[in-house]
């Protein structure tokens, strides 16, 4: 501790970059870079000593000049339901949260793309801390690698729904998705990117034409309601956003998911549901309802009763709109959607002992 880290961090480098690095820096044959990529991404191994198909002398040299990841897990919380929430401490001391969600048929992870967030959504815990900086591609994929080490089953699904706005860090987010696809082996069809609705960036994402799922946090069918809870709506309104979703489908043939957070009396009335159904008529999409997970904010939003949620859903479905409801997990550890950082907000974050 205390000494400046001068070793090269390898996480974030692609296979071809690792191949170039081993030959240029170490004078080793390029295939050693392929082996490194396999260990780092496919096997989620971070310790050179465990990379058994590399010669012992090379492993020693690697550990002298390089490090797989400069980031460490500073806190781990396990929920009754199997959800694990981690705090990843980055090389500069900033921290972001990431969550492992094991289900019967798949293992999903929820990853952050920024330290903090600048979007200011009124109901969101992250928003209250403001924005610090973008994560690098390496810092995004490293969350997945750290989570994989906590789980014997292979991670199959990824959602960029943690802290931050992925489309305001689009280049790094896409570079991270490419690493997950090319090096870790995760199918693009099992990746979801969630946005607050940065319209020009939705068009930019469509140009990449990746078969991922785009989720848009809509949360209201009209500008008045949406602007009240999501300041970003003052820049790109509901109709512009829904048009972007149509255009996204035209370009990528991937239908969009509209997330709809239900806040009692704010956006959860039958009138809101009817208006939403009307606006989404003919849009290739599905709606995912998320009952508000309580976080203390100045507005003191409330979660709607089960009956109100049922009613809202029923209105959408009878209008022919495919609707799902988020299965909520990790409530007891504040890992539920929008609650990241909830409990630690304003308090020092406890640390667990580090090894190594």
Q: Indicate whether 295 belongs to the interface with ligand SAH (CB under 6 A).
A: yes
Tell me the three state secondary structure of residue 55. Answer: coil
Q: Indicate whether 335 belongs to the interface with ligand SAH (CB under 6 A).
A: no
Binders of ligand SAH in range 247-286 (CB under 6 A): 259, 261
Q: What is the distance between the alpha carbons of residues 157 and 24, in angstroms, rounded to a whole number?
A: 35
Please report which helix (H) or strand (E) contains residue 34, including its range.
Answer: helix 31-37
Q: Indicate whether 41 belongs to the interface with ligand SAH (CB under 6 A).
A: no
Q: What is the distance between the alpha carbons of residues 328 and 339, in angstroms, rounded to a whole number?
A: 12
Q: What is the distance between the alpha carbons of residues 51 and 166, in angstroms, rounded to a whole number?
A: 33
Q: Indicate whether 232 belongs to the interface with ligand SAH (CB under 6 A).
A: no
- Smallest distance from the beta carbon of 211 to ligand SAH, in angstroms? 20
- Smallest distance from the beta carbon of 229 to ligand SAH, in angstroms? 9
Residue 285 a catalytic site member:
no
Q: Indicate whether 48 belongs to the interface with ligand SAH (CB under 6 A).
A: no
**Binding flags for ligand SAH, 157-176, as an x/- string (CB under 6 A):** ----x---x-----------
Q: Indicate whether 177 belongs to the interface with ligand SAH (CB under 6 A).
A: no
Q: Indicate whether 222 belongs to the interface with ligand SAH (CB under 6 A).
A: no
C-alpha angle 48-53-55 in degrees, rounded to nearest 5: 75
What is the separation of C-alpha 211 from the centre of its chain, rounded to a whole number of angstroms? 17
Alpha-carbon Rg of the chain, whole angstroms? 21
Whether residue 208 contacts residue 181, with contact meaning beta carbons closer than 8 Å, is answered with no
Q: Indicate whether 293 belongs to the interface with ligand SAH (CB under 6 A).
A: yes
Q: Which of 28, 95, 97, 139 is catalytic?
A: 97
The residue among 35 and 288 lying less far from ligand SAH, judged by its C-beta, is 288
Binding segment toward ligand SAH, per CB under 6 A, in 36-44, 45-53, 118-126, 307-315: 118-126
Residue 224 a catalytic site member:
no
Tell me the three state secondary structure of residue 319. Answer: coil
Distances (CA, A) of 106 to 41, 154, 199: 19, 8, 31
**Binding flags for ligand SAH, 187-216, as an x/- string (CB under 6 A):** -------xxx--------------------
The residue among 19 and 85 lying less far from ligand SAH, judged by its C-beta, is 85
Whether residue 128 contacts residue 343, with contact meaning beta carbons closer than 8 Å, is answered with no
Tell me the three state secondary structure of residue 258. Answer: strand
Q: Indicate whether 290 belongs to the interface with ligand SAH (CB under 6 A).
A: yes
Whether residue 71 contacts residue 347, with contact meaning beta carbons closer than 8 Å, is answered with no
- Smallest distance from the beta carbon of 26 to ligand SAH, in angstroms? 39
The residue among 40 and 212 lying less far from ligand SAH, judged by its C-beta, is 212
Size of the site for ligand SAH (CB under 6 A): 17
Quote the DSSP letter at residue 169.
Answer: G
* Cα pseudo-dihedral 149, 177, 159, 143, rounded to 10: 30
Binding site for ligand SAH (CB under 6 A): 121, 123-124, 161, 165, 194-196, 217, 259, 261, 290, 292-293, 295, 337-338
* Catalytically active residues, by annotation: 97, 337
């Amino acid at each position: 501790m205390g000494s400046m880290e001068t070793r090269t961090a390898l996480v974030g480098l692609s296979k071809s970059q690792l191949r170039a690095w081993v030959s240029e820096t170490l004078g080793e044959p390029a295939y050693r870079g392929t082996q490194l990529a396999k260990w780092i991404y496919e096997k989620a191994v971070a310790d050179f000593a465990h990379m058994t198909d590399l010669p012992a002398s090379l492993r020693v040299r690697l550990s002298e000049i390089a490090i797989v990841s400069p980031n460490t897990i500073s806190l781990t919380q396990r929920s009754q339901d199997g959800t694990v929430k981690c705090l990843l401490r980055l090389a500069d001391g900033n921290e972001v949260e990431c969550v492992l969600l094991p289900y019967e048929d798949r293992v999903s992870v929820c990853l952050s793309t920024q330290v903090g967030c600048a979007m200011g959504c009124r109901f969101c815990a992250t928003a209250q801390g403001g924005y610090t900086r973008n994560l690098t591609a390496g810092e995004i994929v490293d969350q997945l690698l750290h989570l994989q080490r906590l789980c014997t089953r292979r991670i199959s699904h990824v959602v960029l729904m943690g802290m931050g706005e992925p489309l305001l860090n689009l280049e790094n987010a896409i570079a991270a998705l490419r690493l997950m696809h090319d090096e870790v082996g995760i199918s693009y069809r099992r990746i979801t990117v969630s946005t607050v609705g940065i319209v020009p960036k939705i068009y930019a994402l469509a140009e990449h034409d990746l078969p991922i799922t785009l989720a848009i946090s809509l949360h209201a069918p009209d500008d008045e309601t949406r602007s009240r809870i999501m300041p970003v709506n003052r820049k790109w309104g509901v109709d512009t956003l829904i048009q972007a979703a149509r255009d996204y489908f035209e370009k990528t043939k991937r239908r969009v998911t509209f997330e709809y957070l239900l806040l009692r009396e704010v956006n959860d009335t039958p009138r809101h549901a009817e208006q939403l159904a009307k606006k989404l008529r003919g849009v290739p999409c599905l709606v995912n309802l998320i009952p508000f997970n309580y976080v203390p904010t100045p507005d003191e939003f409330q979660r709607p009763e089960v009956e109100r949620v049922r009613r809202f859903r029923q209105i959408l479905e009878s209008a022919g709109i495919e609707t799902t409801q988020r299965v909520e997990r990790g409530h007891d550890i504040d890992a539920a959607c929008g609650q990241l950082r909830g409990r630690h907000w304003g308090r020092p974050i406890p640390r667990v002992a580090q090894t190594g």
